[in-house]
Structure 1
Amino acid sequence: MKEIGMRICIAGAGAIGCTLAARLAASGQSVNVLARGETLNSLQRDGVYLNDLEGEHRAAVNASDSAEALGPQDLIFVCTKEPALAAIMRQIQPMLHEDTVVIPVVNGVPWWYFQGVDGRFADHRIQAVDPDGELSRLIPARHLIGAVVFITAVRKAPGVVESTNPHLMILGEIDHQLSERLERIRSLVENAGIEARASDNIRDQIWTKITANLTSNPLSVVTEATLEQIYSDDHLSPLVRQIFDEVIQVAAAHGARIRFDPQTFMELGAGMGAVKTSMLQDHEQGSPLELAAIGHAVLELAELVGLQMPTTRHVLALTDFMANKRRSEKAA
């Protein structure tokens, strides 16, 4: 993979995709963006705009709705929600060459979770996120680098994003090797003003993010609460703690190490402030929710090791009800 003149594409121009595009382009990288609709028109006309803790960033990008027009890429950040993942993976096929690195910036349990490492469930396919194996066929494991992104960003308008918290991206090979290409990409991201870490066990980091997502996102849909409320309100925090304990049990059963104590976790969550989760934002907009990867895949992993997760299961059932209700109202 070439470091000079690297061809970089952001596939998906939502809040996270635009944050990455703005930071990378502002750092001097030539950035392609695969987008559509009003977002595509805005990016082509005005570029991408980000307002974050370091100020305002506006940068020109090469935006298109055609993977063929953008051509082969060396590095592709796939920034989409889980319900749209298969469609965008099909769309990026013309951009892949032998050495293309694909980094799915997606919440929840990744479809490749049991690929690249040995173990009891080696190569097991996670039905909730890749029921027919399409994702595994579309993106062979050699192309993949895992990512866990701690960026809270809100899309204010097409191509316009605001973020009020620090940016952090943790990257790791799915076979847990500290490779040369991993370090090159980590350096690229860090030079764009995003704190970037290379991990020798990306699955530990995935479980950290899953814990944050699963204790907050579904509950936010049911209660319409902000992160601050979810983690500090006397009515909600006991429920959050029960979900936390269940997730930690499943993570440990799959060999993951979570490096924080419950009290610190709750304090960090409350410290995020009056921020709506991305799932609540999607729910309010009537968009599909990331329940398969964030929730149902975790229940599937729990069942593999004989754990039940009753509180998590009940909250997910309520969230499914709310999502189905909103879909019915939207269709009426």
Structure 2
Amino acid sequence: MRVTILGAGAVGGWLAAGLARAGLDNPGLASLGILARGASLAALRAQGLVFLHGERREAFPVEATDDPAALAGADILLLGLKSHDLPAALPLIQRLRGPGTLVVAVQNGIPWWFLQGFGGPAEGLTLASVDPGGALAAAMPVDRVLGAVAHVGATVAAPGVIRLMQQDRLLLGDPSGRHPGPLARLVGALAAGGIPAAAVPDIRREVWLKLWGNSNMNPLSALCRADMRAMLDDAGIRGLVMAMMAEMAALGDRIGLPLAGPEDPGGERAIADRIAVTRRLGAFRTSMLQDLEAGRPLESGPLVGALVELAGRLGQPVPTLAGIHGLVRLLAAAPG
């Protein structure tokens, strides 16, 4: 199985290390190519992909190039880019794809393919917060996609150097149900390389469940400049988290993705359980807070704006989500 990675940053680099490790032990299992440029390309060529975890240091020789033609037509094109970077990257993505290439996007928020074949009142809606003009959905329809949800903490320590803090699991699924073979091969290759990967029957539900936490903790952390422990220790911030989660739960009920069962009306128990899980992560700094501190664009559109937009299209009130999204938009636009 040939895999090309576009966006070998924190999460993409974590997966690249796993695939490279699997390929060393079994060259027939996975071959890997990374599209890179600048300092990252120079580092990958000079020292390989360096992977740090605790006291452990590994360096994997990888095929790295800035020429898309050299990596075009792989079996899997793995996108490690941020959601808001995908529309601008579409021409490059198209140059990397071949007729048989499946696209795997490891991203936060609602992905462009999420509502294709979804059913219910949200069937086929295109969200400008995620996919302006519907270009991504037109170029990469759901039947050419494998979905992915990563529960991992990793950073780019230096060009070509990935540091893993913690890894929980990588969930992969086939939203169209047309590619069980490639899905199984990809999961097998990742697992062989030490990635806790698993196939799930309903990848949309896993995307929605992760977003239930990301849609509140990420923007609030950017507004507060605080880690998750500090935010949840503050009664006022905790109340905002609970209000945002309740609004998203009601939106999930509306579109057919309930987050709580009939025995938990209003989802109060489910919200409390999710907050308890978040507390166990400790003083974790969210990706949006890290982006803010590094001066990078904030991923507020796919994480919060998409929910506000979807709710607006369906006439579902989400005043807290809308207010927080407005504050983050103003924060992102502020000078400096």
TM > 0.5 fold call: yes
Letter in 1 for 2:176: D
Contact 1:148 1:170 in 2 (8 A): yes
1:290 alignment partner in structure 2:
299
Greater shift, 23-32 or 178-187, is seen at 178-187
2:135 alignment partner in structure 1:
134
1:19 alignment partner in structure 2:
14
- Give TM-score, length-normalised by structure 1: 0.91
Contact 2:83 2:111 in 1 (8 A): no
2:237 alignment partner in structure 1:
236
1:301 alignment partner in structure 2:
310
2:27 alignment partner in structure 1:
none
Change (3 A) 1:253 1:119: closer
Greater shift, 77-86 or 94-103, is seen at 94-103
2:74 alignment partner in structure 1:
73
Letter in 1 for 2:321: T
Q: 1:207, 1:143 → 2: CA distance?
A: 20
Change (3 A) 1:255 1:178: farther
CA RMSD of aligned residues (A): 1.9
Q: 1:54, 1:147 → 2: CA distance?
A: 28
Q: 1:42, 1:152 → 2: CA distance?
A: 22
Aligned residues: 322
Letter in 2 for 1:123: G
1:7 alignment partner in structure 2:
2
- Aligned to 2:188, what secondary structure does the other structure show? helix
Deviations 1:61-105, CA, capped at 9 Å, x for gaps: 111122112232111110101221023232022322222111011
2:197 alignment partner in structure 1:
196
Q: 2:101, 2:188 → 1: CA distance?
A: 17
Deviations 1:216-245, CA, capped at 9 Å, x for gaps: 110011001112223333342121111111
* Aligned: 1:157 with 2:152: no
Q: 1:175, 1:92 → 2: CA distance?
A: 21
- Aligned to 2:103, what secondary structure does the other structure show? strand
Contact 1:183 1:198 in 2 (8 A): yes
- Give TM-score, length-normalised by structure 2: 0.90
Structure 2: tracts of 5 or more residues without a match = 24-29, 261-268
Letter in 1 for 2:78: F
Greater shift, 280-289 or 47-56, is seen at 47-56
Letter in 2 for 1:127: A
Change (3 A) 1:165 1:97: same
Higher helix content, 1 or 2: 2
1:47 alignment partner in structure 2:
48
Letter in 2 for 1:144: V
* Aligned: 1:310 with 2:322: no
Letter in 1 for 2:50: Y
2:224 alignment partner in structure 1:
223
Change (3 A) 1:161 1:273: farther
Deviations 1:180-225, CA, capped at 9 Å, x for gaps: 2222222222222122222221111111111111121100110011
Letter in 2 for 1:9: T
Greater shift, 59-68 or 254-263, is seen at 254-263
Change (3 A) 1:126 1:241: same
* Structure 1 residue 177, shift from structure 2 partner: 6.2
Greater shift, 91-100 or 106-115, is seen at 91-100
Identity %: 32
Structure 1: tracts of 5 or more residues without a match = 1-5
Q: 2:73, 2:181 → 1: CA distance?
A: 21
* Structure 1 residue 133, shift from structure 2 partner: 1.6
* Structure 1 residue 176, shift from structure 2 partner: 4.9
Deviations 1:98-154, CA, capped at 9 Å, x for gaps: 221110111101111121343333322112211212112322333211111111112
Change (3 A) 1:302 1:54: farther
Change (3 A) 1:176 1:303: farther
